[in-house]
Chains A and B, each alone.
Chain A
Amino acid sequence: MKSVEFFLLVAALLFTIGCVGVLVRRNAIVILMCIELMLNAVNLTFAAFAHESQSMAGHVFVFFVMTVAAAEAAVGLAIVIALFRRRRTTDVDDASLMRW
């Protein structure tokens, strides 16, 4: 048996910090970066469990999470750029047209 708690702990911490970042920061790009941080934490958890059970399925999952993260970052940034062109700001509190 191999001990992977350390990696799980670090991944949990990274996920929490990413979560806090999404909730606290105002800049849309930094929010996207914190989402990437959360995805990385999840990847680390997958890799740690793959190592513990010596099964490559965890690595396959990490591969797909990276793919989805790349696609999501590209589209998210395109949306941010489009927003910036209209409103001249990346502040998410300003994107409030559809708020009640």
Chain B
Amino acid sequence: MVVRLLLGLIFVLVAFAVVRALAPARAALAGIVLGAGAVVLVALNRQAITSVEFWAGLVGFAAILSALMIVIHPNPMVSVLFLIVNLFSVALFYLILNAQFLAAIQVIVYAGAIMVLFLFVVMLLNLKAEEGLRGGGGPQRYGAVILGGLFAGLMFHALRNRGPRPYFEPGSFDSGFGTARELGRLLFTRYLFAFEAASLLLIAAMIGAVVLAKRRLR
């Protein structure tokens, strides 16, 4: 089952994060372990995966890997690029989940505008690679590792006792689910107040951003 595969992937990723946290110089080794572990898990998975599940798994792997690289890589510009990759993976997830309008909006708004903003700021402030991670010393790190392991165990237990589930079906495009028309209908009737409030929020944010970034408040 795909869930089993992904759980195995989680363990490999946790191992990677642990290695990186405790021995930063071994990140390359951790990367190799990660890749080898993923390949082994895919090879050992005997049950047939449908085509959709395969692609969903691949996109999931890309999303999680890019998210990890955002947190781990010291250079902020590289973090920005990996976040763009992550946003693209989430847009692909939206496509698989029949949310076509959301996928396009994700690319236009998030990956195409918000990330350009981040890119501009990183380029203008000319940020270099930072040295070292933040925070406490030895005991805190080991505590984090132990708690992370407990969390992984909790997730494993929570998902282990589910009954047999059918394979994921992406569904059809005929019902109009996920199109702009349906979303617009809801936005302009049931959620109209929230829609107008959101526009007010955006105006406030625009004015706030311009005022805060001014050189001298006159």
Contacts and interface: CB of A to CB of B under 8 A. Distances in A.
Interface of A: 1-7, 9-10, 12-14, 16-18, 20-21, 23-27, 29-30, 32-34, 36-37, 40, 43-44, 47-48, 50-51, 54, 56-57, 59-60, 62-64, 66-75, 77-82, 84-85, 90-93
A37 B70 contact: yes
**Main DSSP-derived SS at the A contact region:** helix
B28 interface: no
22 contacts: A5-B162, A6-B168, A9-B10, A12-B155, A18-B67, A24-B133, A24-B134, A25-B133, A29-B76, A32-B118, A33-B70, A43-B90, A43-B106, A56-B177, A56-B182, A67-B201, A68-B201, A70-B114, A74-B205, A78-B213, A82-B212, A90-B127
Nearest to A26: B134
Judged by DSSP, the binding face of B is helix
B68 A17 contact: yes
A84 to B, nearest CB: 6
Contacts, number: 212
Contact of A6 (B3, B135, B187): B3
Interface residues of B, number: 82
Interface of B: 2-3, 6-7, 10, 13, 17, 53, 56-57, 60, 63-64, 67-68, 70-71, 76, 79-80, 83, 86-87, 90, 93-94, 97-99, 101-102, 105-106, 109-110, 113-114, 117-118, 121-122, 124-125, 127, 130, 132-135, 151, 155, 159, 162, 165-169, 171, 175, 177-178, 182-183, 186-187, 190-191, 194, 198, 201-202, 204-206, 208-213, 215
